[in-house]
Copies of this chain bind each other. A is one copy, B any other.
Amino acid sequence: MKACEGRIGRVFVIRLEDGDVVPECIEHFAEEKGVSVGQAILVGGIGGGDVVVGPRRSEGMPPEPILLPIDESHEVLRVCVLAPDKDSKPVLHIHAALGRAGQTMTGCLRQGVTTWLVGEVILYEIVDAKVLRIKDRQSGFELLEPGSN
């Protein structure tokens, strides 16, 4: 466990429109506004894309992702952590539960998904927190490294 401390900055209320692709559009917004570290929640629909629904095997690095496609529009809740990579680009890590007709798929949205009708986002900026996403050689993931910057 590693941690660093910050404080809350600006809060953004965002409406995603039909077809907007997540996480790209929120990352672009954050970059444009100069939001480097933050947290977001999202409420809304997703109509397409692919979801990382686990590593094929729990052991063995790097993990081989299981990818499932999204068919038809889903009702979704998402929580997200924003932190900059080594080039200072804000990268959004999103986990989501996507539901349709009583079935739910939960996973990571890093492959990109398309908004269906509307997405409501609250993005909190966190200032004074020294944290980076640094590529981990073993897993190949950009892991959160509090205390770095």
Residue numbers of A with Cβ under 8 A of B are: 1-8, 10-17, 20, 25, 29, 37, 39, 41-44, 47, 52-55, 57-58, 63, 66, 68, 72-81, 83, 93-108, 116-118, 120, 122, 124, 126, 129, 131, 139, 141, 143-146
Cα A1 to Cα B29 with chains together (Å): 9
Residues A75 and B52 in contact, CB atoms below 8 Å apart: yes
Residues B99 and A53 in contact, CB atoms below 8 Å apart: yes
Which of B10, B12, B100 interacts with A53 by CB under 8 Å? Answer: B100
| A-B interface, 4 closest residue pairs, ranked by CB to CB distance from nearest | A99-B106, A77-B95, A104-B104, A58-B73
Residues A144 and B126 in contact, CB atoms below 8 Å apart: no
Cα A53 to Cα B73 with chains together (Å): 10
Residues A54 and B74 in contact, CB atoms below 8 Å apart: yes
Residues A8 and B8 in contact, CB atoms below 8 Å apart: yes
Cα A13 to Cα B7 with chains together (Å): 10
Q: How far apart are A94's CB and chain B's nearest CB, in angstroms? A: 7
With A8-B11, A14-B1, A14-B3: A97-B99 Cβ-Cβ less than 8 Å? yes
Q: How far apart are A22's CB and chain B's nearest CB, in angstroms? A: 10
Cα A42 to Cα B12 with chains together (Å): 20
Residue of B nearest to A80 (CB): B43
Which of B12, B39, B116 interacts with A5 by CB under 8 Å? Answer: B12
Which of B16, B68, B96, B117 interacts with A63 by CB under 8 Å? Answer: B117
